């Protein structure tokens, strides 16, 4: 690891510069810490699977279980799904996998910050590297899911098409949006463990506000919720590309990407401004 990282001193009350200075400093810190972030991500990935019998299959098992539950409910007639354009198992499996990638990136900023609490208080380094390590980890998990998902879709009669080339764009935007939202709650989550415990519940509610396991509703209250949810275009468009249903890029997708990028900048500034207080509270 190189030792040419710029020295940054985090002090309570020391962050009083203008917002745009904070944005520039945060972006510079992200670039300067990419090597450190890669090493942290590599360490965390190895630690995750070192003592696991099923290893990387855990990246696939939880979405698969969700898929099986909804297939059973659909098969028993408990729920009634309309036409999805593709087989319901393929629709369900692709949706739950894409959502799992978003959920990983949403959890990563808080998980990584808590995991590296001891380092944060004792070693001086660009703390944005912790956020970036979470992004790398999320991309790794997403790649594993894709490697397993694509053959599964072939088995479900989904033929590969040129739209598959656009899937990385969709997943990249999903990971950045998830990371941005995760960063917003990280300062509070580090101080109060209740936030971390409530995240799985929050993600469940969020998942049902997006057409992951059900068909895009066209009427009723749920239809309005789905329409207003900025995550909807990201999930729907990425699934279209993954299953070859569309090669185009919807304007609502671009709006969601722009919103996600704005939240990402806001999250970086919030994380940077809150960091001195966090270090003070963690170290006390």
pLDDT of residue 8: 52
Give me the average pLDDT of each 10-residue run along the chain (284 residues).
50 57 79 86 82 68 79 72 80 91 92 84 79 91 87 86 90 93 88 84 89 84 90 93 84 92 87 77 64
Longest dimension (CA), the chain: 62
pLDDT of residue 79: 66
pLDDT of residue 187: 85
Would you state the structure tokens that stand for residue 32, as one six-digit string?
């300067």
pLDDT of residue 2: 47
pLDDT of residue 98: 93
Can you give the pTM of this predicted structure? 0.84
How far are the Cα atoms of 153, 157, 238 from residue 97, in angstroms, in the given order?
A: 11, 17, 11
pLDDT of residue 1: 45
């Amino acid at each position: 690891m190189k030792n040419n990282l710029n020295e940054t001193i985090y002090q309570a009350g020391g962050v009083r510069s203008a917002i745009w200075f904070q944005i520039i400093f945060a972006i510079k810190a992200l670039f300067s810490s990419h090597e450190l972030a890669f090493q942290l991500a590599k360490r965390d990935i190895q630690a995750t699977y070192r003592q696991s019998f099923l290893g990387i299959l855990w990246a696939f098992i939880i979405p698969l279980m969700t898929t099986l539950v909804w297939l059973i409910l659909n098969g028993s007639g408990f729920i009634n799904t309309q036409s999805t354009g593709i087989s319901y198992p393929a629709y369900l499996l692709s949706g739950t996998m894409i959502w799992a990638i978003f959920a990983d990136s949403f959890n990563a900023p808080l998980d990584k910050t808590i995991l590296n609490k001891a380092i944060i208080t004792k070693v001086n380094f660009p703390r944005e590297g912790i956020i970036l390590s979470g992004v790398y980890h999320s991309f790794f998990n997403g790649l594993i899911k894709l490697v397993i998902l694509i053959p599964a879709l072939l088995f479900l009669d989904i033929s590969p098409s040129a739209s598959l080339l656009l899937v990385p764009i969709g997943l990249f935007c999903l990971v950045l949006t998830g990371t941005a939202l995760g960063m917003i709650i990280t300062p509070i989550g580090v101080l109060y463990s209740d936030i971390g415990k409530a995240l799985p519940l929050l993600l469940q509610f969020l998942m049902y506000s997006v057409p992951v396991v059900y068909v895009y509703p066209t009427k009723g209250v749920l239809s309005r919720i789905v329409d207003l949810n900025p995550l909807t275009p990201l999930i729907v468009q990425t699934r279209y590309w993954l299953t070859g249903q569309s090669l185009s890029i919807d304007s609502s997708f671009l709006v969601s990407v722009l919103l996600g990028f704005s939240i990402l900048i806001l999250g970086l500034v919030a994380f940077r401004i809150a960091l001195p207080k966090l270090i003070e509270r963690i170290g006390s």
